[in-house]
Amino acid sequence: MIFKLILLYLASYLCGGIPFGVLFAKRKGIDLMKVGSGNIGATNVKRALGSKIAFVVFVLDVAKSTVPCLIARLLVDHPLHGIPAQVFWFSAGLIAIFGHCVSPFLGFKGGKGVSTALGMVIGAAPLVASGCFGLFLVLLFTTRYMSLASIIGVGSATIFGWFFPGQARELVPVYALLTVFVIYRHKKNIARLRDGTEPKFSFGKEPKQVASEEPPESDAE
């Protein structure tokens, strides 16, 4: 079992590291990391390639952590060595997030991990995921700040993970650490929110942007 989990975690890292946004942009002759914010997530893909491709990238970025979690569910369906099974499911997704943020295919660079974090929680704790994503949508539609909605949405997992029934309490500190990690990855966005200069998310079609030598970091994935 341990050997199977090690193989799964390795595959999870490699799967998480697949830069779908970069690959889609490359097919169009665009270097995504030199467009808009320079980020590899769906928000920047929307700027460069439009909403339809951005939605596909979002789904794929979510799926690349959800799938390892679901495989982990098949491998571990009961406590192992006194550790709740949900911890192993969560670990598989957590490693996929690490792969997304530190991709071996991008020279160990990557995105901010919010979409992939959502996929992890969907696969390992769907009840918590529904609460987090619901709060994220409310904040995004009311404030139109992708970064703010992402930070609070991820941060709420700590609360939902504690109060929702059937959740492994051992995961609450991990949710808290994930929140700290997301806040750190968004430190420039937080500074712009404080200064009132953070761009708002557009729900309509955005014009494609040309490459920039100094791309602003204004999105969240």
Please, which pLDDT band fits residue 81 given cuts at 50, 70 and 90?
Answer: confident
Cβ atoms of residues 108 and 128 within 8 Å: no
Percent of the chain with pLDDT over 90: 76
CA distance 1 to 120: 21
In angstroms, the CA 149 to CA 144 distance is 8
214 in a structural domain: no
Who has greater pLDDT, 67 or 47? 67
In the chain, the number of structural domains is 1
CB-CB contact of 182 with 118 (8 Å): no
- Compute CA distances 76 → 68, 80, 116, 120, whole Å: 12, 8, 21, 16
Rounded average pLDDT over 44-66: 95
Instruction: Work out the average pLDDT over 137-141.
Output: 96
Any domain includes 97:
yes
Task: Please give the pLDDT value at position 215.
Answer: 46
Which token pair is 91? 């670990």
Residue 220 forms part of a structural domain: no
Domain-embedded: residue 35? yes
Q: Which two tokens stand for residue 140?
A: 């995004």
Instruction: Decide if 65 is inside a domain.
Output: yes
- List the beta bridge partners of residue 35: 211
Cα 18 off chain centre by: 13
Say which amino acid occupies 146.
Answer: M
Q: What are phi and psi of 69, to 5 degrees?
A: -65, -40
Q: Is 206 domain-assigned?
A: no
Containing structural domain, residue 28? 2-195
Considering the domain boundaries, does residue 96 fall inside one?
yes
- In-domain check, residue 121: yes
- Stronger pLDDT, 204 or 46, i.e. the higher one: 46
List, for residues 92-129, the tens digit of each pLDDT value. 999 999 999 999 999 999 998 889 999 999 999 999 99
pLDDT band, residue 219 (cuts 50/70/90): low
